[in-house]
Amino acid sequence: MLSRIAENMFWMGRYVERMENTSRLLDVNYHAMLETTAVLEAQWEPLLEITHTQEGYLKHFQSVEAYPVALWLASHEGNPSSVLSSLTFARENARSLRERISTEMWESLNSAYLDLRSRGTLMDEGSLHRFCNSTRDASHLFFGIAEATLPRDQGWYFLKAGRLLERSDNVARLLATFYVTYRSGPNASLILTHHYWTGVLKSVSAFEAYLKEYQGALEAHNIAEFLILSESFPRSVAYSLQSLESCLEHIAEDNPEVEQAVLRELGWLRAQLQYAQNVTEILEGKRINLKGVLESLGEISASIKRTYFAARG
């Protein structure tokens, strides 16, 4: 497979997943925080932190407030990670892959893009939910079509690898931010704790699955365990990395002459998570911690690039 095509497939997967994650994050937290404005001051900084866009935001806005943050994450031109920017990049990739992907895949992204563009960048708060819903659906539709129509060649595995890497990165980042912010201190009331952690779980569609697994108790330690180590929940870090490994193995099989450093790096990260004594060791540990996990994910992404995308003579 052409290196450029592989790279575009990979990034298309990442961008669509990013679009979905950001819109869910925005939708859940925006509406949840409105509910508690009477009890405490809403905190919007974490949303900027999770999406890694604090710096850019402060170039365009003076203070961190509800509406500007929503606008920033949804469709602000200056934010390369906004929902709209992610969709735009995904579509650009899809456009350059027209002859590679199924027509339906392209059409789903193209019509979502045209639809969003036609609404303009400024939205009122009333339409935010609809905006987020429609982009989340666009992602589901896109990957659903891919699942049903894309041949299982390297292109498929690169698309999936991009999606899984983005997803594990997102969950790890979310946890790294909120765990520090919300770790139940002695002062936190039950209502607030409940409120916080519900938001975290819903941000990654994990609320219902978590309740089933742990019978209802919203406890920071359990939630972290679930989001990092669950072997059955499809958005957990461990689950995503396991699927990622299988994708990269398929790709490696197709390219027997290529040196496979990336599989070693991924295997090492998985082993560290799998054989940690408990989740606290991962959250606060000296040998491995969430920051380290995020760094390793960055390394793995760079290594995929070096191995398969870099121009070689």
Give contact residues for other proteins (rule: CB under 8 A): 1-6, 92, 95-96, 98-100, 103, 106-107, 110-111, 114, 154, 251, 254-258, 308-309, 311-313
Candidates 284, 47, 286, 32; CA nearest to 178 is 47
Which CA distances in Å does 29 have to 2, 20, 210?
A: 41, 14, 18
Tokens representing residue 303 in the block:
């290594």
- Could you tell me the smallest distance in angstroms from the CB atom of residue 311 to other proteins? 6
19/266 Cα distance (integer angstroms): 25
- Could you tell me the smallest distance in angstroms from the CB atom of residue 278 to other proteins? 39
Candidates 142, 176, 163, 204; CA nearest to 14 is 163
Tokens representing residue 61 in the block:
């806005």
> Whose structure tokens read 């002859």?
99
- Could you tell me the smallest distance in angstroms from the CB atom of residue 2 to other proteins? 5
- Could you tell me the smallest distance in angstroms from the CB atom of residue 205 to other proteins? 28
Q: Which is nearer to other proteins, 190 or 310 (CB)?
A: 310
Q: Which is nearer to other proteins, 100 or 235 (CB)?
A: 100
Buried/exposed 134-157: b ≥16 CB within 10 Å, e otherwise: bbbebbebbbebbeeebeeebbbb
- Could you tell me the smallest distance in angstroms from the CB atom of residue 88 to other proteins? 12
Q: Which is nearer to other proteins, 114 or 271 (CB)?
A: 114
Q: Is residue 28 within 8 Å of 199, Cβ to Cβ?
A: yes
151/141 Cα distance (integer angstroms): 17
Q: Which is nearer to other proteins, 100 or 136 (CB)?
A: 100
56/133 Cα distance (integer angstroms): 25
Q: Which is nearer to other proteins, 93 or 240 (CB)?
A: 93
Q: Which is nearer to other proteins, 261 or 294 (CB)?
A: 261
255/278 Cα distance (integer angstroms): 37
Angle between helices 3-35 and 83-96 (to 10 degrees): 160
Q: Which is nearer to other proteins, 41 or 257 (CB)?
A: 257
Measured between its terminal Cα atoms, the distance across the chain in Å is: 16
- Could you tell me the smallest distance in angstroms from the CB atom of residue 5 to other proteins? 8
- Could you tell me the smallest distance in angstroms from the CB atom of residue 257 to other proteins? 6
Q: Which is nearer to other proteins, 194 or 306 (CB)?
A: 306
What's the DSSP call for residue 308? Answer: I
- Could you tell me the smallest distance in angstroms from the CB atom of residue 243 to other proteins? 19
